[in-house]
Amino acid sequence: MNETPTPTFRVDLSGQVALVTGASQGLGRSIAIELARSGAKVACVARTESKLAETVAAITAAGGTAEAFACDVKQREGVDKLVDSLAENWGRLDILVNNAGVTRDGLLPRMPDDDWDLVIDTNLRGAFLFSRAASRIMMRARYGRIINITSVAGIIGNPGQTNYSASKAGLIGFTRSLSRELAGRKVTINAVAPGFIESDMTRVLGPIVIEEAKKRIPAKRLGTPEEIAAAVLFLASSAASYITGTVLVVDGGMTG
């Protein structure tokens, strides 16, 4: 029996436009693929357009529609230009997934300023810039879904990740506050908080650390990128129209 089930959640996003940051690999790639498989036209965003080729190729090979866009999520002018041109050329923007994120781990007493600034600017400022630009379009349309990828590290903390945990905790506060601002315009703002997920980021931890992590997880396994994508898909769907300001924790029961 397969230890890790494959999610089978399906929604119809035909005619909608989605933008996913950090779509070149990991969770962002899986999220972009699932949104496209559900019928959305997907703008795949990363710093380097060439790194998005695999994601776009996977989407188009499956009959979906996607395009790659190079953008540094930390730079306001680039973000505003991308979002505005996308809405103009594609006619709309219905779904924004703020997934782009980095880590620069280290104990706080020895953490360089640059490591703090890079993580906060990428993980938190990037979500702010894209959400601000997208919210203007969604408010006019009186419809939208903004989904922020946070982390259980932003809920329970993690030694050696004060910068990362702070950025993800900030994203939770950002989500809850913005949801109150935009609910009246039928724009929902939610977050997904993954736990330990099978990815390049967890693989570098090595088998010993991963096995120890599994012992702390009631489900006794790591999650999959597809399971995170399924959570995003639900929050992007019409089934979640009365859900806003929430944090959907997907961690196999680790945080209880």
Name the phi and psi angles at 149, rounded to 5. Answer: -90, 105
Query: Could you give the CA distance from residue 23 to residue 179 in angstroms, rounded to a whole number?
Result: 24
Q: What is the DSSP string of 97-151?
A: EE---------GGG--HHHHHHHHIIIIIHHHHHHHHHHHHHHHHT-EEEEEE--
C-alpha Rg value of the chain to the nearest Å: 17
State yes or no: is 164 an active-site residue: yes
DSSP 193: E
Closest CA to 149 of 181, 121, 123, 128: 123
Which of these is catalytic: 116, 164, 174, 234? 164
| Catalytic center residues | 164
